[in-house]
Amino acid sequence: MMKQANPDTIAQAANLIRQGALVAFPTETVYGLGADATNGAAVAKIFAAKGRPSFNPLIVHVSDATQAEQLVQIDKRAREVMAHFWPGPLTLILPLKDGAPVSDLCHPDLDTLAVRCPQHAVARALLHDAGVPIAAPSANRSGHISPTAPQHVQKSLGEVVPMILADGACETGLESTVLDLSGETPEILRAGILTLEDIQAVLPDAKIHEAQDEKVKSPGMLLKHYAPTIPVRLNAVDVEDGEALLAFGSTKFMSLKSGGGVDKLPEERLRNLSETGDLYEAASNLFAYMHALDTPENKGIAVMNIPNIGVGIAINDRLKRAAEN
Ligand code: TXA
Ligand code: MG
């Protein structure tokens, strides 16, 4: 059931979490599908609801660094990035603490744990009221487009989630940056709204993880992901018959294969991530526009080139996975 977030419904949601039920809730990045991270039976429901492979570890959400400290080992680097970016869209991979009160299902075959302290007021209130760390992946069926609005969650998981705490569209619209601090060099495993440059301002030796041993490092990044039900075609310079266009910047030089400019496309076939070419605006619109164009009437989505700099790296990462066959 979808319920508008307010102190009463947040308290109800916190009760459901403590009773071992699932709750979908808003964060500043995307909607999460939450369960009490200390309760294995509850965490198992996440995997079942999403159809998520059991080897894919979960992010455990905490209310602050003090709660994180009960679960993971926090070194000087971790303390520094937490001070800079928490609460906010940064997930840290850290060595698990001995006897940490968290279900093994959150970190299958791993001696590390992903922790994140979200900024969204509703997420913070829920964590506060529940009083337990909350394991939460994005609230979509595994492999599909991430949800940035409560309606996306309703459509994808409405039948299996007892409660969706609704609070409008997510502000940043792209998942958190995942930073691995379990090894010698800080490595970004998943590009996100915080860029490499943002992280390097605090940890100058941070780098983007190279793909070879990705299987071990970030199991979730292996998969075809973020995928609409129709094909996605990248770096399009024109639009084929029946295709929708996901534009970025000026569309002056884009044309329809059948003739004419793309301004002829009906609304249900055209979205522009950012007419002014602003990558942050594009990031916040990405998933919502993919949802909007993913209709049976469209035979595919043609996507214009997006510069691979700053947040563009995270946007292109999502688009590449969406276009995987
Ligand atoms: O913005 C976000 O991070 C959202 C909101 C709900 O917080 N959550 C999210 O979760 O995107 P999910 O499950 O869709 O993505 C988690 C990513 C996956 O790629 C997973 O493999 C990786 O984090 N991950 C989790 N634990 C890990 C660990 N111990 N080591 C390496 N990667 C891990
Ligand atoms: Mg996800």
Tell me the pLDDT of the chain (325 aa) as tens digits. 999 999 999 999 999 999 999 999 999 999 999 999 999 999 999 999 999 999 999 999 999 999 999 999 999 999 999 999 999 999 999 999 999 999 999 999 999 999 999 999 999 999 999 999 999 999 999 999 999 999 999 999 999 999 999 999 999 999 999 999 999 999 999 999 999 999 999 999 999 998 765 555 666 665 678 889 999 999 999 999 999 999 999 999 999 999 999 999 999 999 999 999 999 999 999 999 999 999 999 999 999 999 999 999 999 999 999 998 7
Closest ligand to Cα 175: 1
272 CA from centroid of ligand 2 (Å): 23
Q: How far apart are CA 303 and CA 272, in angstroms?
A: 10
**Sign of the C-alpha dihedral, residues 208, 32, 142, 216?**
positive
**Ligand 1 centre from 138 Cα, in Å?**
8
Amino acid letter for position 176:
S
In 3-state terms the chain splits into helix, strand, coil percentages (rounded to 5) of: 35, 20, 45
Question: Is the backbone of residue 249 left (phi > 0), alpha (psi -120 to 50) or beta?
Answer: left
For ligand 1, say whether the CB of 27 is within 6 Å of any of its atoms: yes
Task: Determine whether the shortest distance from the Cβ of 112 to ligand 1 is under 6 A.
Answer: yes
From 57, 62, 86, select the one nearest 182 (Cα to Cα).
57
Cβ–Cβ < 8 Å for 86, 107: no
C-alpha 232 – ligand 1 centre gap (Å) = 24
Domain borders along the chain are 2-208, 232-323
Which DSSP string do the residues of 98-137 spell out, in sequence order?
TT-SS-GGGSTT-SEEEEE----HHHHHHHHHH-S-EE--
Asked if residue 140 has its Cβ within 6 Å of ligand 1, the reply is: no
User: Residue 226 belongs to what H/E stretch?
Assistant: none
**Cα-to-centroid distance, 227 and ligand 2 (Å):** 11
Beta bridge partners of 3: 165
Q: Which CATH architecture has domain 2-208?
A: Alpha-Beta Complex (3.90)
Q: Of all protein residues, whose CA lies closest to atom 12 belonging to ligand 1?
A: 137
Dihedral angle computed from the Cα positions of residues 183, 189, 194 and 196, in that order, rounded to the nearest 10 degrees: 70
Sequence-ordered list of residues with C-beta below 8 angstroms from that of 19, at least 6 positions apart, any chain: none
Q: Residue 226: what pLDDT?
A: 86
Q: Is any ligand 1 atom within 6 A of the Cβ of residue 45?
A: no
Query: For residue 145, what pLDDT is reported?
Result: 94
> What 3-state DSSP class applies to 197?
helix
Cβ of 9 less than 6 Å from ligand 1: no
List of residues 6+ apart from 76 with CB closer than 8 A? none
- Atom number of ligand 1 nearest to Cα 52: 13
- Tell me whether domains 2-208 and 232-323 share a fold: no
The Å distance, Cα 138 to ligand 2 centre, comes to: 4
- Residue closest by Cα to atom 10 of ligand 1: 137
Are residues 145 and 227 in contact, defined by beta-carbon separation less than 8 angstroms?
yes
pLDDT at 224: 72
50 in contact with ligand 1, CB cutoff 6 A: no
Judge if the beta carbon of residue 60 lies within 6 A of ligand 1: no
Q: In CATH, what number does 232-323 get?
A: 3.40.50
Tokens representing 172 are 């940043």
Question: Are 320 and 224 contacting, i.e. CB atoms less than 8 angstroms apart?
Answer: no
Ligand 1 closest atom vs CA 136: 6
CA 150 to chain centre: 14
Residue 188 to residue 194: CA distance in whole angstroms: 10
Span from the CA of 314 to the centroid of ligand 2 (angstroms) = 13
> Residue with the nearest Cα to atom 7 of ligand 1?
32
Question: What pLDDT score does 210 carry?
Answer: 82
Total-model pTM: 0.94
